[in-house]
Amino acid sequence: MTIKQALEESTLQLKNNHTPSPRLDAELLLAHLLRQNREYLIAHDDENLTESQLKQYSNFIHRRLDHEPVAYITNRLDFYGIDFYVDNRVLSPRVETELVAEEAIKNAPKNSKLIDIGTGSGAIAIAIAKNRPDLEITASEVSADALDVAKLNAASILGDDHNIKFVVSDIFDDIEGKFETVVTNLPYVSEDYLPQMKAEVKKEPAIALFGGKGDGLDLYRKFYQQLPKHIIAGTRVYHESDPWQHEKLFELASSAGLESIFERYLILGFQKN
């Protein structure tokens, strides 16, 4: 079977299964298998695949038919122009979350301390560290399994001699010291939405998705209750949430002594008075 035939057959399978982007997913999985880019598939569409390649590709497609996210099948995801390892121990970082890293990279004071609460795959902390080696960075995570993924990414991307300290902690429970910049992407999806969620999202770790019932902000309540002990005048806080949650988050931030400095759809920024 040629590359063209394999793509056509797998695209049809995914389409019949109501996969959101059947052709793209088929191409991404085959390109990953062949360790090539998607352009290669077009230029070499008459190239024959070996039996071993077809067997492995069929395995990839069947995993996708079972709604497993493409990133978990390839174990790769691009974030802030960096290639990260991901698997089902961590949430796949979203493109919009890059804004959190971007704001910290631009605004963190030189040679200051920064903490990433709930680091997951380490995407935010590592993107910041790669662009701001002057910072002293702490990355915390309640899940030891997720923290293993973050450590793997840090070693792979930054090398063994990097500027990130990893800590197992539930929010600030096991964190000491004060920080000039705080970034986080804590779970904020309400458990009430579970029945409506796409099958792909349900394959991601619930601990990294759900922030409780109702408004989904249980973890952010704890975050803002604990935050004042770990910040100083001028500290900036950046995080993500759904727009409909912003009003409540403004209240929580204000109760912790912070004022809003910007609002960009999903990303909020605050500063300690």
Q: What number is the average pLDDT over the span 10-35?
A: 96
CATH architecture of the region 3-66: Orthogonal Bundle (1.10)
Question: What's the pLDDT at 203?
Answer: 87
- Does the pLDDT at position 172 exceed 90? yes
Q: What is the pTM of this model?
A: 0.92
CATH class of the domain whose range is 76-272: alpha beta
Q: Calculate the average pLDDT of the chain.
A: 95
- The residues of the chain that CATH labels 3.40.50.150 are 76-272
- The residues of the chain that CATH labels 1.10.8.10 are 3-66
d(CA 67, CA 61): 10
Question: What's the pLDDT at 198?
Answer: 84
**Best CA proximity match to 119, nearest among 99, 138, 98:** 138
